Structure 1
Amino acid sequence: MEQESSLLPLVEKFFEHDTAAAARSLARMTEEEAVEVLGALPAPLAVRAVRHLQVGYTAALLKDAEPAIFREIASSLDPQLAATIFMHLPNEARERLLEHIPGKLKKQIQELLTYPEDSVGRLMTTDFLSFHKEVTAREAVEKIRSLARKRLPASYGYVVDEEERLVGVMNMRDLMLASPEQPLESMMRTNVFSIHAFVDREQAGNELSKRRYFAAPIVDSENHMLGIIKAEQLIHGIQDEATEDFQRMFGAGADERPFSPILFSLKKRLPWLHVNLATAFLAAAVVAMFEGLIARLTILAVFLPVVAGQGGNAGAQSLAVVMRGLVMREIPGNKVSKLILKEGALCAASGVVIGLVTAMVAWVWNGNPFLGLVIGLGMFFNLVLAGLSGAAIPVLMKKLGLDPAQCSSIILTTVTDVMGFLIFLGLAAAFQAQLI
């Protein structure tokens, strides 16, 4: 205990000197060790460290924290970050810690969490500079000077009316050049670009990019000023969402990072590895049904991975296109059937070409035209099925309330492997008299 106390000043110095490096070291520890270190740090240092940690990992550390520690850290964080961390906590931890959050912060968190998960409302910051339209240039400058020690979010001040509705934007240069008694209403720019809080972050990012703005005001349906969104926040949020989807598609946890603790990563990956194992045994069971046929015609075993591989690749192409469409909100509900049929037709055309090429290779290789016919037909039907499945599975998963990014790839692999083997070996069984 004495040794730990003597090391604490050294740890504090490390966090003070290079918080980012210290936070990276914290992320490499086990959760138990990281919680112990975080709890031993003074609150300001703990808050600085939390700002450098991945949100999911921070939530994992704080879920079992003492209420007093959680309250102190949460109270010192930006409400948006506190809300994001709170959202990642398990339900029982939320219920236990909610009563220990200060009233004002609790209200801010609840308001932030009412916005859809992928909306700009979840990413906006409520720290912005606004003035009422009757305020004079002198009063505005005095207010800015009084806030000089705070980090202002942008080079713009927003102008609102008596009901906090956004009515204009004010450039700091215009303010400095204005006469002291001139009201802001007379110098503000009324043509204001704003974003509704429920707008998807992808769409908002595209709008900001087209206009080359580095920030934009966020409003509700009645144009009340709610906050601002910075371009850097939006880009970071979109990148996080994209990398999380990418990781989920391959069965890794969305909040897993390169240096996450081994046990943490293991908990995220093992369940999906078990699902993969079960689907692999299912495909093996299909092959086992034709064990006798394969024993008599060993050449069939050579073409099994060809059928599975091509079906998997074709399905993955359709899956990638549909997943992007879902993320970008490019697939209206009334056009889902059209999309699935289009992908099926596209893969049917690919199946004709690939099937003919495979049939020719098999015929030349083995000298039996019926083997070419079997592998060609098997390839065609498997690619059609792969295209239909790759388009339909993510849409169906979303309708069922599941995460398409996390389960679509595994289900697609099962369909293409199992059905591909079944079709190919079933055709081989039908033509076995000509193949032997």
Structure 2
Amino acid sequence: MAKKQLPAASYCYVVDGASALQGVLNMRDLLLASPEARVEEIMIRDVLKVPPFTDREELVAMVARKHYLAVPVTDENGRLIGVVNTKNIIASTEAEATEDLQLLFGGSAEERAFSPAWFKITRRLPWLTINLATAFLAGSVVALFEDFIAKVAVLAVFLPIIAGQGGNAGTQTLAVVIRGMLMREIAPHNAWQLVKTEFWVALVNGAATGLITAAAAVLWKGNPWLGFVVGVAMVVNMVAAGLSGALIPLAMKRLGFDPAHSSGIFLTTVTDVVGFFAFLSTAWLLQSKLI
């Protein structure tokens, strides 16, 4: 029978007579140490260790900070009962990240590239139906200004630009926040600081993209008021997108839901509704300058 090949060890864990963990010894240090040196003289006593019921996400965060190749597991009496190979942790984290990516946009964690077509349909269609309902909500905002758009047709050109830019900005924030949650970087005590930071980032990015879009509108149509309307709407939507990208996953976690589960759909709804309304309502207020 072939023997199972075990991964090469990089650490030696030092225990006493009761199997209690005393320290860790790097194999390189052991090989380079003097033949007369005692183990207790070259081992590291301050050892990162975890109890057997440590949450996997918490362990991932530890490994990411310390860059260890393995983590010892000890019981309530400090006895060494096992070792976690970080390669296994990374593999499991990559699998979870793939699931989160699928859930983020309304997919299914069980779906694979060559899953049966009917399985794919049953997993995707419910969320597509929800997304369709939210799209009707965004469309209803445009319908409120239907007659006005007919008078100023150029507004229709900028609607997808403003909504799309907001969606992109919100998705950037959403990805960072969900990763921060996975890595345990975000906690109740620093969540508000995160929201404030994302607000200022969105405001600056919104001002920059708003100026560029406004300049393009003025150069195209020669109407500075059109540029003003486009610029204001861009800033408002970018700020709304940044705040939504931070607040939606935080709110979902607070309510006990998986933050990765379809946050993208709700984010798209917010950016479309806010973007359309900010743009069209501002244009309506200044219609005498645009017609």
TM range (shorter): 0.7 to 0.9
For the pair 1:196 / 2:54, whether they are aligned, the reply is no
Pairing partner for 2:253 from 384, 398, 412: 398
Matching residue of 2:268 = 413
Kindly provide the CA deviation profile for residues 31-64 of structure 1, in whole angstroms up to 9, marking residues without a partner as x.
xxxxxxxxxxxxxxxxxxxxxxxxxxxxxxxxxx
Matching residue of 2:205 = 350
State the Cα distance separating 1:430 from its structure 2 match: 0.8
The 1:387/1:192 distance shift into structure 2, 3 A limit, reads closer
State the TM-score, normalized to the length of structure 2: 0.83
Alignment of 1:62-211 (within 5 A): 155=9, 165-167=20-22, 191=45, 193-197=47-51, 198=54, 200-206=58-64, 209=67, 211=68
Unaligned runs of 5+ in 2: 31-38
For the pair 1:298 / 2:156, whether they are aligned, the reply is no
Alignment of 1:3-14 (within 5 A): none
Matches of 1:332 and 1:431, distance apart in 2:
44
Matching residue of 1:380 = 235
State the Cα distance separating 1:193 from its structure 2 match: 3.9
Matching residue of 2:71 = 216
SS at match of 2:158: helix
Matching residue of 2:287 = 432
Kindly provide the CA deviation profile for residues 109-137 of structure 1, in whole angstroms up to 9, marking residues without a partner as x.
xxxxxxxxxxxxxxxxxxxxxxxxxxxxx
Specify which structure has the bigger relative contact order, considering alpha-carbon pairs within 8 angstroms and separated by 6 or more residues: 2
Matching residue of 1:336 = 191
Matching residue of 1:256 = 111
For the pair 1:367 / 2:222, whether they are aligned, the reply is yes
Indicate if the aligned counterparts of 2:50 and 2:71 stay in contact, CA closer than 8 A. no
State the Cα distance separating 1:414 from its structure 2 match: 0.4
State the Cα distance separating 1:279 from its structure 2 match: 1.1
For the pair 1:321 / 2:179, whether they are aligned, the reply is no
The 1:230/1:383 distance shift into structure 2, 3 A limit, reads same
The 1:377/1:159 distance shift into structure 2, 3 A limit, reads closer
SS at match of 2:257: coil
State the Cα distance separating 1:154 from its structure 2 match: 6.0
Matches of 1:339 and 1:402, distance apart in 2:
20
Unaligned runs of 5+ in 1: 1-147, 175-184
Matching residue of 2:127 = 272
The 1:362/1:240 distance shift into structure 2, 3 A limit, reads same
The percent identity for this pair of structures is: 48
State the TM-score, normalized to the length of structure 1: 0.57
What's the Cα RMSD here? Answer: 3.0
Indicate if the aligned counterparts of 1:205 and 1:235 stay in contact, CA closer than 8 A. no
